[in-house]
Amino acid sequence: MIEKRIGARDARAQFADLLGRIGYGGEIVVVERFGKPMAAMIPPDLYQRLAAEREARFESLARLRVQLPDLSGEEVLVDVAAAVNAVRVAHAEDRS
């Protein structure tokens, strides 16, 4: 996907055009104020995919919580973070 950075003032002036480029063209627009990213505008299908992935992660955490009721929420998060890190390391090794 194409990513474009634009100042807030220009984004306001070009809002209708940006909506078309995002909705129909699949662009991602990062709106900046004084060079600092303040917001991102993304196509609806990408948003829905990200939201579904987030929900799936929370469902995984809930399943873990049910299976390990004696652990605190913090202990579960530490274990999940370790598992995610292990997968990332393995994935990085596969790519190199």
Give this prediction's pTM: 0.60
Domain ranges of the chain: 3-42, 53-95
Q: What are residue 30's phi and psi, to 5 degrees? A: -100, 120
Query: pLDDT tens digits for 30-87?
Result: 999 999 999 999 999 999 999 999 999 999 888 877 877 777 878 878 989 999 999 9
CATH of domain 3-42: 3.40.1620
**Do residues 40 and 30 touch, judged by C-beta distance below 8 A?**
yes
Q: What is the mean pLDDT of residues 23-27?
A: 93
Residue 1 has pLDDT above 70, yes or no: no
Residue 18 has pLDDT above 80, yes or no: yes
